[in-house]
Amino acid sequence: MPDITAIQFCEYGPPEVLSARRVAAPRPAAGEVLIDVHAASVNPVDWKVRAGLLQKVFPVAFPMTSGRDGAGVVGAVGSGVDTALIGRRVCFLAGRGVGAFAEQIVLPAALAVGIPDRLSFTDAAALPLAGLSAWAALVTAAQVGPGMRVLVHAASGGVGTLAVQIARDRGAEVAATCSRRNGGFVRELGAGDVAFHDAETPFEDRLSGLDVVLDPLGGDIHRRSYAVLRKRGMIVCLSAAPYEDRGAEYGVSVKTAQVLPDPAVLAEIVARVATGRLRPVVERVLPFSEFVASHRMCEQGHARGKTVLRIRQSSDPSK
């Protein structure tokens, strides 16, 4: 039986618990596709799962393959799936427990979303989890629309870079937080007022009367965010650190966005990229062999967009 390389861990721990292992190639069952993965992105959930921080909510079976999202080419299909999909370029968000840091992955066919020829695999791999998270928060939960004033925390990160653009595209006025290093970059993405978390003036002294705060950080950032909202405004959270819901006290609502591998939404995101309304931001592309470094960089928490692993070289180097 042919085998493939997958990046796995057999215990919780530091990035060094990851290793490249030869494993049996997966086979698509009925309703599934096999994807030859060209690129996979690194998300904070990858290192949090590996470090054992999510054991209570997301227990894993060892050996566990790292990674949640990526892009590649459909290599085979299971019974009941249209064979015309073979050879199609796609991106995907895999279900929990199905690792994307692997030369091949098997998924329900519905989760493989077509990408245009001119979108590189590395850019496409940057979209699924970060894009679906930004969309779930701003569009599905907060229903951001024209004229609304929105604060995007962590605007320089994987989620934030897409969230700023999505909010702007929907006609909102966008404020943002990030480090000084990333201020100019976040303004270029469409944020007006940018408050730096490493400056003396805290964001709550600069901003007020906002309709929506996107909080992917929790903890202290969450606690301080109530003060910048108007009455009946909304904080929409991505589950990062724990937070205390003080919505009733401040007269605002607090929602946690449900991030699902929704292929219809991912297709919307890809369509916006295809028409130039949304730009994936890839800070660095690392060779597959740099999987330990990729986790370490993500864990440092000061990204400028996404880190992507190139799993295999395309015959067209621009892709």
Ligand X SMILES: NC(=O)c1ccc[n+]([C@@H]2O[C@H](COP(=O)([O-])OP(=O)(O)OC[C@H]3O[C@@H](n4cnc5c(N)ncnc54)[C@H](OP(=O)(O)O)[C@@H]3O)[C@@H](O)[C@H]2O)c1
Binding site for ligand X (CB under 6 A): 43-45, 130, 133, 153-154, 156-160, 177-179, 182, 197, 216-217, 221, 238-240, 259, 298, 301-303
Nearest residue relative to ligand X (C-beta): 157
Q: How far is the CB of 117 from ligand X (least distance, A)?
A: 27
Contact present, 2 and 22 (Cβ < 8 Å): no
Residue 33 or 124: which CB sits closer to ligand X?
124
CB of 74 to ligand X, least distance (A): 26
Cβ proximity to ligand X, 149 vs 295, nearer residue: 295
Pick 77 or 135: Cβ nearer ligand X: 135
Q: How far is the CB of 196 from ligand X (least distance, A)?
A: 8
Which CB, 94 or 240, lies closer to ligand X?
240
Residue 187 or 302 with smaller CB distance to ligand X: 302
Amino acid at 309: L
What is the closest distance, in whole angstroms, from the C-beta atom of residue 104 to ligand X in the complex?
25
Nearest to 245 by CA among 218, 207, 210: 218
Could you tell me the smallest distance in angstroms from the CB atom of residue 174 to ligand X? 14
Task: Identify whether the C-beta of residue 177 lies closer than 8 Å to the C-beta of residue 195.
Answer: yes
d(CA 153, CA 163): 9
Tokens of 163: 């969230």
